[in-house]
Amino acid sequence: MKSLFQIKKEVLKIYMEKIAQYYLFSLVLILVTEMLARHSVIKGASFVWDHPFLILYSALILTCVYSIALFFRKRELVWMLITVVFLTLGICNCILLFYRITPLAATDISLISSVFGIMTVYLNVWQIILLVATVILVLSGVIYYGSKMKKQECSIPAAAIITLGLFLLSGVIMNLGDETGALQTEFANLPDAYEDNGYVYCFTRSLIDRGIEKPETYSEETVEDIFGSIRGQDDKEVEQKPNIIFLQIESFFDLARVKDVTYTEDPVPIWSSLLESCPSGALTVPSIGAGTANTEFEVLTGMSLDYFGAGEYPYKTVLQEETCESAAYNLKKLGYRTTAIHNNTGTFYDRNLVFANLGFDCFDCEEYMQGITYNSLGWAKDKILTQQIMGALNSSEEPDFVYTISVQPHGKYPKEPMENPHIKVTGFSPEDEGRAAGYEYYVNEAHETDAFLGLLVSTLNAFDEPTVVVMYGDHLPNIDMSEEEISDGNLFQTEYVIWSNLAQKEANTLKNTKKDLYAYQLYSYVFGRLGMNQGVLTKFHQKYSIEGTHEEEFATLQYDMLYGDREVYGGVNPYAKTEIQMGIYPISLKEVDAVGGSIYVHGDNFTEFSKVFIDDKEQETTYLNKNTLMVPSEEPEDGERIYVAQMAGRSEQLSRTEEIIYVE
């Protein structure tokens, strides 16, 4: 009979052999995922061959995950589950890179609930059915084979020793790689980082690299030394307080920048005119083809994404819980009412939650808008935004800060040619037919958005309140452009324009000047031209250029404000979460009638997203008009609680009315 020590020794030997198998299999899986990521067998194989250290280290990372199987008696089942998850992520990355330029990062997993709401834009019905069938088939196969697998001998101590050793080895190599420069640690350009470092390493880095790293020199004294002069500046007295509108335009830029492409007419004549006649310049944004919320974050907060984790969306991480200094909070100090408007679902990027942590009093989203029309891809057309912006301006007596986010030119762009497009595009090679069709579609959508800009400017020009509008593109469209195809060679630049209806004598600070900016400098620059300096980051940006010697100070300030001791605020977070109102005109419930075997619910500002609830159970609801909803074939009972909720998707209530207790 073998001793206990001999059994453990044999198990340890089996485990080590299993780890060797896992490592070899990891190398094969990495080869497969790189081929998927690059949409090419040859390119994937070439990357693996040309980057031996990265591939060997990436295989170690994957082996660390596989080592978890050693803790289970059915370790082959766990190995299979891990493989399925890893391959699924690799396939998701492959699919994402067909539809956008940005690869799959760990933060994208937290956006999965938002993806379900727009899945039909990217996939047709049969593709969705095939996807669901594939998932069911794979899960069924795993369950079936798992039930057939025999249990094996398991040693928790041996598994713990091996797994801990692997993770420690992986950590040591990562630290050495960071210190020696053998491993890239900062991903300013996520697509390039994945291209240069591979999917496994970059995804792992995005998984563990969150937030802003604490500066080595961070202390109360350091913060005081760096920002003493800024903290000593008093907030300026502001006499003129015009309405300030920021308009973030989806996938929008000066189309004249695309080389060797011609149009039957200028697709964005309003934008071209504004660039020429108004204060304007190039705007460097943090993403290409996607990542609207990150451009939004930089513009609203004055913070740079460069100091956050790889592929991180602060909307999905730190801003879920923390409030943050922003343009909205700073203008509230001056008595402004702050409103955010977006003609898309309110839950995308969790804006319905995050905007309360950025100082907004009101959030008006698709679910609260009357008369929306949609393009062929299902995105709301931008012309609706003029009436929403005017509604915000007219709904308050205070000066208004209105942050508006457009959506119409959003991808994915079709690969089939349009029938009778208003604007025709030429210049693409015959073999590039699919991209040419997508670009032509985008151009025609951008043309309609440009017409909306003209309507907005015309409407505000006749408005009797002084108003300043800051317009800019959030990122270039996802049309797979290369640097060589752009006249300035910069894929991270859009443009901004500052327009106003101020009388000439009041607009000296808004005279036509050209200045290139980073997205995080934009609101501070606009504030400066209006004689405002409220906010720590406002003062910082107005005093310093970030390039060169002030980058360390900028990073330290961001860390202190979000993750540190808030020394710059005297150790206390001065920003309280707002009680945000959903909808410029929120829904209300007045009365409930039972007529002819149906329920008629009367109130104000209902839309097709309004649903009737009886005792917290959602009812089949027919939208009749903004004042009336009907629940067919239903009669309320005495004492039942009835209310109306605005629904985002199938399950999330954005807001709800007061309840009415039904009395027969």
Report DSSP letters for 546-613, one per residue: SSSTTHHHHHHHHHHHHTS--GGGTTS---PPP-PEESSS--EEEEEEEETTEEEEEEES--TTEEEE
pLDDT tens digits for 596-638? 889 999 999 999 999 999 999 999 999 999 999 999 988 888 8
Cα(234)–Cα(449) distance, integer angstroms: 41
Q: What pLDDT score does 221 carry?
A: 85
* pLDDT at res. 190: 65
Q: How far apart are CA 574 and CA 364, in angstroms?
A: 25
262 membership: H or E segment, kind and range: strand 262-263
User: What is residue 335's predicted lDDT score, i.e. its pLDDT?
Assistant: 95
CATH T-level assignment (fold) for domain 242-571: Alkaline Phosphatase, subunit A (3.40.720)
> What's the whole-number mean pLDDT along residues 280-288?
93
CA pair distance 516, 530, nearest whole angstrom: 18
**Residues 166-180: tens digit of each pLDDT:** 999 998 988 888 788
CB 55 within 8 A of CB 30: yes
Q: Would strands 467-473 and 493-500 be described as parallel, antiparallel, or unpaired?
A: antiparallel
Both tokens assigned to 503:
């009388």
Report which of 298, 284, 291 is spatially closest to residue 518, judged by C-alpha positions. Answer: 284
Confirm if 630 and 599 have CB atoms less than 8 A apart. Answer: yes
Identify whether the C-beta of residue 438 lies closer than 8 Å to the C-beta of residue 479: yes
Beta bridge partners of 365: 342
pLDDT category at 220 given cuts 50, 70, 90 is: confident
Decide if 562 contacts 556 (C-beta within 8 A): no
CA distance 446 to 495: 14
| Residue 120, pLDDT above cutoff 70 | no
pLDDT beyond 90 at 355: yes
Answer yes or no: is pLDDT of 156 > 80: yes
Per-residue confidence (pLDDT) for residue 505, from 0 to 100: 41
| pLDDT of 8 | 63
Would you place residue 60 in the very low, low, confident or very high pLDDT band (cuts 50, 70, 90)? very high
Residue 655 is predicted with a pLDDT of 96
Domain with CATH 3.40.720.10 in the chain: 242-571
The per-residue pLDDT of the chain, averaged, comes to 87
What is the spatial distance between Cα 303 and Cα 281, in angstroms, rounded to a whole number? 20
pLDDT of residue 319: 94
Query: Residue 216 contacts by C-beta under 8 Å, 6 or more apart in sequence?
Result: none
Range from 118-132, 205-219, 315-329 carrying the lowest mean pLDDT: 118-132
Nearest to 68 by CA among 83, 55, 57, 54: 83
Which residues face 401 on adjacent strands?
244, 338
Give yes or no for residue 265 having a pLDDT over 90.
Answer: yes
Averaged pLDDT for residues 136-157: 76
- Give the per-residue pLDDT at 1: 42
Per-residue pLDDT at 186: 67
Say how far apart CA 111 and CA 316 lie, in whole Å: 8
Q: What spatial distance separates the first Cα and last Cα of the chain, rounded to whole Å? A: 83
The pLDDT value given to residue 388: 98
Asked if CATH classification 2.60.40.10 holds for the domain at 585-661, the reply, yes or no, is yes
Between CA 603 and CA 591 the distance in angstroms is 7
Of 349, 350, 385, 393, nearest in space to 368 by CA? 385
pLDDT score of 368: 97
Is pLDDT of 206 > 60?
yes
Strand partners, 591: 602
What per-residue confidence (pLDDT) applies to 184? 77
Contact 388, 370 (CB under 8 A): no
Whether the predicted pLDDT of 533 surpasses 80: yes
Query: pTM score, two decimals?
Result: 0.82
**In Å, what is the CA distance from 646 to each residue of 279, 402, 609, 623, 634?**
40, 22, 6, 12, 20
Q: Answer yes or no: are the C-beta atoms of 500 and 529 closer than 8 Å.
A: no
**pLDDT of 2 strictly over 50:** no
Q: pLDDT tens-digit profile of 439-489?
A: 999 999 999 999 999 999 999 999 999 999 999 999 999 888 888 999 988
Q: What 3-state DSSP class applies to 46?
A: helix
Provide CATH 2.60.40.10 ranges for the chain. 585-661
Q: Do residues 235 and 534 lie in contact, with contact meaning Cβ atoms separated by under 8 Å?
A: yes
Q: Over the stretch 373-428, which tens digit does the pLDDT of each residue have?
A: 999 999 999 999 999 999 999 999 999 999 999 999 998 888 899 999 999 999 98
Say yes or no to pLDDT of 7 above 50: no
Quickly count: other Cβ atoms within 10 Å of residue 399's Cβ: 20
Which has more confidence, 96 or 610?
610
Residue of 344, 182, 155 lying closest to 251 (CA atoms): 344
- Could you give the CA distance from residue 241 to residue 331 in angstroms, rounded to a whole number? 10
C-alpha to C-alpha distance for 459 and 472, rounded to whole angstroms: 19
Higher-pLDDT residue of 132, 382 = 382
Q: For residue 203, count other CB atoms closer than 10 A to its CB.
A: 25
For residue 357, pLDDT over 70 is answered with: yes
